[in-house]
Amino acid sequence: MSFKTIEDFGSLAGKTAVIRVDINVPMQNGQVSDKTRLFAVKPTVDAVKASGGRCVLLAHFGRPKGQVIEDMSLKQVIPALSEVLETPVGFATLSDALPDTDVILIENTRFHPGEEKNDPGLAAQFAALGDVYINDAFSCSHRAHASTEAIAQLLPSAAGKTMERELTALVNALGAPKKPVCAVVGGAKVSSKLAVLENLVEKVDHLIIGGGMANTFLFAQGIEVGASLCENDLAETAQLILSKARDKGCKIHLPNDVVVAHEFKAHADNRTIPNTDVDDGEMILDAGIETVEVLTKVIAESNTLLWNGPMGAFEMEPFDRATVALAKAAGAATEAGDLLSVAGGGDTVAAMAHAGVKDQMTHISTAGGAFLEWMEGKDLPGVKALG
């Protein structure tokens, strides 16, 4: 994966950088309720300003589908963005003259029908705003839009600081990793991560499958899973993945003991049993302690870890224990310098935060769909355009 960086531009004195950012932030009572994505913009803005350049920011907000919807105007983000960037942020629509500020935010790119159609005409309007293009929105780069792909064909282009950090972590985790490589893939359904699993068995040495997905794989091996979440119709597909893993030398790890309950609720009466002893009315809600001990050793013996999805119903105690225990093991190994760890996906970020290891991992990706498509082995148009 090759890409240029801001440093490849040399001096930006007297130049304007058009920067695609992701500030699709949550709002509550007219205020930004989580500024994480705003803080991710700052390193790139600071780098451009330090090089003498001016910043014009492109971003989307919500899903206006090519219509101008006042509630989805980026104008409401300006106060919080100015505070985070520690500089006044100007605001303009695409047809306005640009205000005389070092940082300018352009109105919602998705107010234009051509944005999601990757329209060359709209991309040319975006490109006319500056001299170079910087993509700092990995989370938006799995779609070929005018502000992520077409514009990169029109201006000298590079990855921003946040994008650079993300791409470097991903290359280190799967592109050119230090072996052995372990992947944890959890969550509810195999169907949502088929392509991920099929790609990973060709790339990793150990594949840990958890959550509801594991139930489908257990069922595929003739193990009764009671009332557990299970995609019975994908048993044959699961068998094919198990077979492919054997052929590729990838060891798949499934729960040997499981935590079961009759109710899907926090602190429900539960028991820990071998995976072969699940009664008809019981649901598997987590991996058991023996499984955790085995998997902790697998992580300890790995040099690279890729994580997407929880091991169980981590939102509810005590069914968060396997996820928390493995996350803590990964965090400790990373902090000790023994493991490169990359985790991503909405539930995964929440799980790492719940386990208290979010700041210990090498890299946490909040990219969602882009992270999953990268795990599937797909080219991301917004990233490819930077090569």
206-251 confidence digits (pLDDT tens): 999 999 999 999 999 999 999 999 999 999 999 999 999 999 999 9
- Of these residues, 35, 49, 226, 346, which one is catalytic? 346
Q: Which residues are annotated as a binding site?
A: 22-24, 37, 60-63, 110, 143, 193, 315, 345-348
Q: How far apart are CA 60 and CA 137, in angstroms?
A: 11
The domain that holds 16 is classified in CATH as 3.40.50.1260
Q: Which residues are annotated as a binding site for ATP?
A: 193, 315, 345-348
Are 96 and 189 contained in the same domain? Answer: no
37 catalytically annotated: yes
pLDDT band of residue 132 (cuts 50, 70, 90) is: very high
pLDDT band of residue 353 (cuts 50, 70, 90) is: very high
Are 191 and 157 contained in the same domain? Answer: no
30 catalytically annotated: no
Mean pLDDT of the chain: 96
In a domain, 1, yes or no: no
pLDDT at 2 over 90: no
Are 152 and 261 contained in the same domain? Answer: no
Are 59 and 92 contained in the same domain? Answer: yes
State percent of the chain over pLDDT 70.
Answer: 100
- Of these residues, 42, 369, 377, 384, which one is catalytic? 369
In a domain, 386, yes or no: no
In a domain, 14, yes or no: yes
In a domain, 351, yes or no: yes
pLDDT band of residue 1 (cuts 50, 70, 90) is: low
- Of these residues, 189, 244, 328, 384, which one is catalytic? 189
In a domain, 387, yes or no: no
346 catalytically annotated: yes
Domain extent for 231: 177-375
Query: Coil, strand, or helix at residue 264?
Result: coil
DSSP result, 78-103: HHHHHHHHTS-EEEE-TTSPPPSSSE
pLDDT band of residue 307 (cuts 50, 70, 90) is: very high
pLDDT tens by residue, 282-303: 999 999 999 999 999 999 999 9
CB-based contacts of 26: which residues, under 8 Å, 6+ apart?
32, 33, 34
Are 103 and 193 contained in the same domain? Answer: no
pLDDT tens by residue, 70-126: 999 999 999 999 999 999 999 999 999 999 999 999 999 999 999 999 999 999 999
**pTM: predicted TM-score of the whole model, two decimal places:** 0.90
Q: Which residues are annotated as a binding site for substrate?
A: 22-24, 37, 60-63, 110, 143
12 vs 188 pLDDT, higher one: 12
246 catalytically annotated: no
In a domain, 234, yes or no: yes
Spell out where 165-247 has E strands.
Answer: 181-185, 206-209
Q: Copy the structure tokens of residue 268.
A: 């429900």
